[in-house]
Amino acid sequence: MQAEFWLRKWELGETGFHQESVNESLQDWWPSIHAPAGGAVFVPLCGKSMDMRWLADQGQKVVGIEVSPVACREFFDELQLKPDIEEGGAFRRYVAGPFRILQGDYFAAGPADLGPVSGFYDRAALVAMPPEMQPDYVQQLVDLLPTGAVGLINCLEYPPELMDGPPFSIREAGLRKLLGPRCHVTLLSAREINTEGTNLERKGLVGLAETAYRVRVGD
Ligand SMILES: C[S@@+](CC[C@H](N)C(=O)[O-])C[C@H]1O[C@@H](n2cnc3c(N)ncnc32)[C@H](O)[C@@H]1O
């Protein structure tokens, strides 16, 4: 899934992945992640997710990366915030209140672009990457995060023969292998998701589970 695929999805308004409500696993598990209070949370491939607003409501600062300018604009418009827009380098930066969204390519980012972050949250980001891109995605995530960073990663599990992703199915063993020995991974929950009436059902998926993992980046 190259960036052009996603840019087009946003231009056409084909954003079935976007949730109008805050992700349940985030609400259930974020408090037990123990991300430093008031610290910045990195949200890779953030779209215009309302989960960022929820994180800000918990007192976190939020640093997102998103390739689509449409998503960035809609995020701030829907919150009725007027961001300052800073140009320069690989990113256009939208800044308002606790939010800093870097519009550009995730793979072009370095730790200096993010600034200090102590937590991270991945929903529909790793699973949006096809299997051949997942190792690079995870390597970049670990390279961007400081040692000691803690976060929540949501994955989806379904029989892969039922549907072509995105989203792609990632099971626990696969996630552990991708993250490698530096990351400490704890499975927190596996929640059945009802696909009835959704795009996923139309693509052939009748049942899937959303799994939530606590991940800590070690030395
Ligand atoms: C499935 S959506 C998930 C969005 C968000 N995490 C959510 O929960 O709604 C994946 C997002 O990743 C963005 N994206 C894909 N490739 C990217 C890249 N290389 N750099 C930055 N953003 C990217 C897409 O534009 C899209 O908004």
Domains of the chain by residue range:
3-12+23-217
Any ligand 1 atom below 6 A from CB of 65: yes
pLDDT value of position 115: 96
pLDDT value of position 135: 98
66-80, 100-114, 154-168, range with the lowest pLDDT: 154-168
Q: Which of 8, 18, 21, 45 to mutate to test the pocket of ligand 1 (most atoms within 8 A of CB)?
A: 45
Arithmetic mean of pLDDT, 92-113: 98
3 state SS for 138-186: HHHHHHHCCCCCEEEEEEEECCHHHCCCCCCCCCHHHHHHHHCCCEEEE
67 C-alpha to ligand 1 centroid (Å): 7
Arithmetic mean of pLDDT, 38-58: 98
**1 confidence band (pLDDT: 50, 70, 90):** low
Q: Which residue has the higher pLDDT, 14 or 207?
A: 14
pLDDT value of position 117: 98
pLDDT value of position 2: 87
What residue type is 15 in one-letter code?
A: T
Arithmetic mean of pLDDT, 26-55: 97
Superfamily assignment of 3-12+23-217 in CATH? Vaccinia Virus protein VP39 (3.40.50.150)
Any ligand 1 atom below 6 A from CB of 66: yes
Any ligand 1 atom below 6 A from CB of 18: yes
| pTM flag (> 0.95) | yes
Q: DSSP letter at 128?
A: G
pLDDT value of position 88: 84
What value does the mean pLDDT of the chain take? 96
Whether 200 shows a pLDDT value over 90: the answer reads no
What burial class does residue 43 get, using C-beta atoms within 10 Å of its C-beta: 0-12 exposed, 13-18 middle, 19+ buried?
buried
